[in-house]
Structure 1
Amino acid sequence: MKVIAVGMNYAAHNKELDHTLELAEPTIFMKSDSSLLKDGKPFFIPDFSEEIHYETEIVVRIDRLGKNIAERFAHRYYNEVTVGIDFTARDLQRKLRSQGLPWEISKAFDNSAVTGTFMPLEQLGKVDNLSFHLDINGQKVQEGNTGDMLFSVDKIVAYVSRFFTLKIGDLIYTGTPVGVGPVHIDDHLQGYIGQHKLLDFFVR
């Protein structure tokens, strides 16, 4: 299975990190299968970074084999979503970007892709109008709505399928809104879509 992620998909977040606000196509990067962290297991801060940031995202699970999918048919290829965390070694990412080097190791390291419990969209609402947020230690630190994405879920699915065959079980992290920040040992992270708590784990 593949873990596909979309960068810079919310304008306010792009401004927050001094990225461009003008994008013609989705920005795609990959995480490895060992990036996955699920079932409420703790996230251990790695020893190669002093600045691990949370990035809260809606995660879509592909449930049908597809290649070169037309956008108008993209909705047929998924029916469950959850909230997840794209952990980023921000200090390492900045260093690599400043040198013009690839920055996968700052994004795709082990356990950097946290996933919550998947729920059918029929229980949550339309995929293009999902409100989600992250609480740390009981305080809301980040929130967003998929209606604010620069590229919709269907556009992302169609675009990605031009380059990669989508297979059952593949995950797509759809981008993070404004409000990213650092995590620390003993932080308690809880992620929600609407009032549904789908993510609950600790940082160690």
Structure 2
Amino acid sequence: MTYVVPAPPQPSVAVAGSEARFPVRRIFCVGRNYAAHAREMGRDPDREPPFFFTKPADAVVGDGETVAYPPETANFHYEAELVVAIGEGGRDIDEARALDHVWGYAVGNDLTRRDLQLQAREQGRPWDWGKAFDRSAVVGPLRPVSEVGHPATGRIHLSVNGETKQDADLSELIWSVPEIIAILSRSMELKPGDLVMTGTPAGVGPLKPGDRCEIEIEGLGAITTRIGEPS
């Protein structure tokens, strides 16, 4: 195959305990999937169900990396999330069989330019500039299902400079992982390499240059991101 410009590299994330990596095809994200977070964002979780948005595959950032404070924002936020890696594709996946399509799980951070997101929301515009910018999807090393099973409960905890900011349990997800996969696959075909960021608990807040953000999910370990000066 010959291209008229250089082909971009394949985005990927680490696999715990392996030199092999997981290729990233697409990143789906679930919005307002914890009731308390929906309320802190001014929404009613009993009337407005969760929904999906996306990030580009090359927005992926690994554990331990420094993310420069992004441009065009004065309100840059963290969001701790459970990440699901799809290993077997499908369309119209039965919820009862949905977990058969999961390769593994990781700890993630859905970095957000909150001011741009809220501005877009108020104007009825897409969220891309607030959510889908460069280096906005921190994903730690994937852990295969064979090692960790399917975490449906367990503490999800985020701290900034050692101070707890988010502290919840995976059992608080409005849409569970099987439900997310089933609902998502009704709209488009899932394929190996797809990642799903499942939503964040209450307690989202700002990051600034020099901050150290750490997220831990019970059974999946911890990831750390440092925020650098604007580039």
Please indicate the TM-score interval, normalised by the length of the shorter structure. over 0.9
Give yes or no for contact 2:63–2:138 (8 Å, CA) kept in 1: no
| 1:59-74 equivalence runs, <5 A | 59-74=83-98
CA distance in 2, matches of 1:112, 1:156: 21
Q: 1:6 aligns with which of 16, 22, 30?
A: 30
CA distance in 2, matches of 1:43, 1:186: 10
Deviation digits for residues 24-67 of structure 1 (CA, Å, limit 9, x no counterpart): 75301111122211142211111210001101100000011211
Task: Find the counterpart in structure 1 of residue 204 from structure 2.
Answer: 180
Does 2:121 match 1:97? yes
Give yes or no for contact 1:127–1:153 (8 Å, CA) kept in 2: no
What's the Cα RMSD here?
1.7
- State the identity as a percent: 36
Runs of 4+ in 1 over 6 A off after TM superposition: none
Q: CA deviation at 1:126?
A: 4.1
Question: Which range moved further: 135-144 or 156-165?
Answer: 135-144
Larger Rg: 2
Q: 2:42 aligns with which of 7, 11, 18?
A: 18
CA distance in 2, matches of 1:40, 1:15: 31
Q: CA deviation at 1:124?
A: 4.0
Task: Find the counterpart in structure 2 of residue 135 from structure 1.
Answer: 159
Letter in structure 1 aligned against 2:83? V
Q: 1:106 aligns with which of 130, 144, 147?
A: 130
Letter in structure 2 aligned against 1:194? E
CA distance in 2, matches of 1:143, 1:121: 24
Q: CA deviation at 1:98?
A: 1.4
2:28 match: secondary structure: strand
Letter in structure 2 aligned against 1:78? V
Letter in structure 2 aligned against 1:102? P
Question: Which range moved further: 51-60 or 143-152?
Answer: 143-152
CA pair 39-83 structure 1, distance change in 2 beyond 3 A: closer
CA distance in 2, matches of 1:60, 1:108: 18
User: Normalized against structure 1, the TM-score is what?
Assistant: 0.93
CA distance in 2, matches of 1:120, 1:173: 16
Structure 2, unpaired ranges of 5+: 1-24
User: Normalized against structure 2, the TM-score is what?
Assistant: 0.83
